[in-house]
Structure 1
Amino acid sequence: MGSIDVSQRLTFFAALFKVDENPDLGMWMLYLTILLLSIAVYKMGFAKKLPIGKSILIYLFLGFGCTFLSFLGIFLPIAEGLVVAALILIIYKIRRHFHQKQEMDVS
């Protein structure tokens, strides 16, 4: 039976950060990418104005969850899905901004 080539199964970001060649730096880069994308998606789509203590608690849990997601992100498109979610939310925010601007001009 032949050996499995792990580099062929890596996701885009895992291959970009070369987690198979340099696991220490690659995993940190993948973790930071997933964390930053998760924060961006949270802020754009779900964040509400909260007291500072609750915000810190949410970001701590977000950071902890991203640790788990980073391990899944090696072979599953976690970061890629977050990029798509962030793009959809950016498009939504831009369209909503222009729609509100048009309504203000009509009034």
Structure 2
Amino acid sequence: MDISQRLSFFAALYKVDEQPDLGMWMLYLTMIALCVIVYKLGFAKKLPLGKSLVIYLFLILGCTVLTFLGVFLPIAEGLVVAALILIIYKVRLNQQKKHELNAK
């Protein structure tokens, strides 16, 4: 059984099977970036600096587990889809608000 055929898209892109050290770090940084984007677009509220640091610390620790799961499961791909959906939602929300302000 060839393990490279079972890898998720990002794991195959970063060649985790050929270069495990560099590939896993790249996958880890991708997971962190995507999780931060999804968090900021969908869930972030204005918090004091200390609380924000704690949230981001736990977000980064959680990405460690997600990275190991993301080698074979489409975790990063799901985060990309979630980020795209949230971006579309935010754009539409801003357009709606501008339209309501212009209508008044």
RMSD: 0.4
Task: Give identity over the alignment, percent.
Answer: 70
1:69 and 1:98 map into 2 onto residues whose CA distance is 34
What amino acid is aligned across from residue 47 of structure 1 in structure 2? A
Tell me which residue corresponds to 2:88: 91
- TM-score, normalization by structure 2: 0.99
Runs of at least 5 residues in structure 2 that lack an aligned partner in the other structure: none
Question: What's the CA shift string for 1:16-72, capped at 9, x where partnerless?
Answer: 000000000000000000100000000000001111101000000000000010000
Cα distance in 2 for partners of 1:30, 1:77 equals 12
Runs of 4+ residues over 4 Å off in structure 1: none
| 1:43 aligns to 2:40 (yes or no) | yes
Give 1 or 2 for the bigger CA radius of gyration: 1
Give the TM-score, by structure 1 length. Answer: 0.96
Structure 1: tracts of 5 or more residues without a match: none
Aligned pairs for 1:21-100 within 5 A = 21-100=18-97
